[in-house]
Structures are given as C-alpha cells and as structure tokens.
C-alpha cells in the first residue's frame, strides 16, 4: 500500500497556489524521473524529457527533473534540491516504504514556475565530472534564458539536460548560449539633435559673414 501511495503522490499535481517545501515532496525517489508538480509540460513534452532523463542511466546517474509552482517563504530552489538529494540518497531502512531503491548518484534539475528560475544539484560523487560551476552555469544561463524569454519550459529542460549529458559522457562543454545582439541600423537621415546642431552652426556662419561684409560695404560706399 505504501509504494502505491508514493506513486499517486508523484503523479498528482500540487495545487498551483500552494507554496512547496521539502515536506510536500515524496520521501523517497518516485518511479517516474519527471515530477511535474507545476504542471508546465504537455504530454508529448513529458515523454520526451523522461526519455532524456532515462538516458543518464547509461552513465550510472539517477537524473530527475522537478517543477514546483512556487517555493515556501525563505526557501531557495538550490536549497530544496540539496535537501532532496540528501533525503533521496539515504538508504531505505524499510523496503516496503521506498518506491525506488536508489543506488546511483543523484542529479536533480529543478524549475520554479513562479520566478522562472532553475537550479541543478548533484550528489557529491558527481562533483568531479559535473563541477559546481557547471551546474550553476547550466541553471542560470542555459536554462534561465528560455524560461524568461517566453516560458519555454520544454526547451530549457532539453537544453540543460543536453549540456549536462555531453559533459558527463566526456565531451566538451558546449558552454553558455550565445545572446543575440540587436543589429545597429545605419542611416544617412540626420537625427533631431543633429539637425538642431547643424541649424545653429549655419546661423553662426551667417552672422559672422554679415558682421564682416556690412562694415566693409559701408566703408566702401562712404569712401567714394
């Protein structure tokens, strides 16, 4: 009965108005690698991401992705991830209370739907392969950009998992995504400020010419 209850908890979306903390999440790793508590993924996206998470098993890594509607007051996403790693890495004392026996080191990707933020946390044995700076960069750039530019949860998750998987398999880190800069359009049409400066300069020249020519003409007329 206990494993069934844990499975139902993992499959049931958390109320979107509910602030999530550690106590609201399963006490042991659920059977599904994707826990979409914020309900931000479509059915097709869930299947795609679950397949990508399952591929980490080949590297003997238990990769999981958790979304939350919002966090409890004072709790950071990274802190929640660290607490989950500690909880889910603990050996089960009673096999009847554990939905999954977890032997591989954990890699947790977390997404906060309210703040559009991400965090990546890993078990200590993975620190050499996936250093903390890589985890931070993946969360704050690779995943954060798609999240904040259009709520692209699927793209953010796939990009983040792809980068981590590449490094884990011994490949070169793809690095942070390039931010497209806006092209500067050059034009020959003067701006309002340039027009005003040009007009002011023209008047100065006219006044100088008048101030020089008029006295000369006056002298020439009266000297005859």
Is 175 inside any structural domain? no
Neighbouring CB atoms inside 10 A of 55's CB total: 14
Asked if residue 70 lies in contact with residue 110, where contact means CB atoms within 8 angstroms, the answer is no
Is 179 inside any structural domain? no
Distance CA 87, CA 72 (A): 18
Is 77 inside any structural domain? yes
Predicted confidence at residue 208, as pLDDT, reads: 72
**pLDDT tens per residue across all 224 residues of the chain:** 444 434 444 444 555 557 889 999 999 999 999 999 999 999 999 999 999 999 999 999 999 999 999 999 999 999 999 999 999 997 755 555 444 455 899 999 999 999 999 999 999 999 999 999 999 999 999 999 999 988 899 999 999 999 999 999 999 999 998 765 544 444 556 555 555 666 666 766 667 766 776 676 675 566 65
Predicted confidence at residue 108, as pLDDT, reads: 98
Residues 164 and 75 in one domain: yes
The domain of 198 spans: 193-224
Residue position matching structure tokens 């844990």: 6
- The residue among 3, 37, 5, 4 whose CA lies nearest residue 22 is 37
Distance CA 54, CA 64 (A): 9
Predicted confidence at residue 3, as pLDDT, reads: 43
Domain end (from 130, 153, 168): 168
Predicted confidence at residue 196, as pLDDT, reads: 61
* Confidence (pTM): 0.71
Distance CA 176, CA 80 (A): 24
Is 16 inside any structural domain? yes
């Amino acid at each position: 009965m206990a494993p069934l209850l844990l499975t139902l908890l993992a499959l049931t979306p958390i109320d979107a108005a509910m602030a999530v903390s550690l106590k609201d999440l399963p006490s042991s790793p659920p059977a599904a690698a994707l826990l979409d508590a914020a309900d931000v993924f479509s059915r097709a996206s869930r299947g795609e991401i679950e397949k990508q998470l399952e591929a980490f098993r080949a590297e003997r890594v238990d990769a999981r992705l958790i979304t939350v509607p919002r966090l409890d007051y004072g709790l950071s996403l990274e802190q929640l991830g660290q607490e989950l790693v500690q909880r889910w890495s603990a050996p089960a004392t009673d096999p009847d209370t554990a939905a999954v026996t977890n032997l591989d080191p954990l890699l947790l990707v977390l997404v906060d739907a309210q703040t559009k933020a991400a965090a990546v946390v890993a078990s200590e044995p993975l620190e050499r392969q996936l250093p903390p700076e890589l985890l931070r960069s993946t969360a704050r750039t690779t995943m954060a950009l798609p999240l904040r530019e259009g709520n692209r949860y699927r793209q953010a998750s796939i990009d983040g998992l792809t980068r981590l998987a590449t490094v884990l398999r011994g490949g070169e880190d793809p690095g942070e995504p390039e931010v497209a800069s806006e092209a500067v359009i050059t034009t020959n049409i003067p701006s309002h400020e340039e027009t005003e400066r040009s007009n002011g300069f023209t008047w100065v020249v006219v006044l100088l010419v008048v101030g020089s020519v008029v006295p000369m003409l006056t002298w020439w007329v009266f000297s005859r």
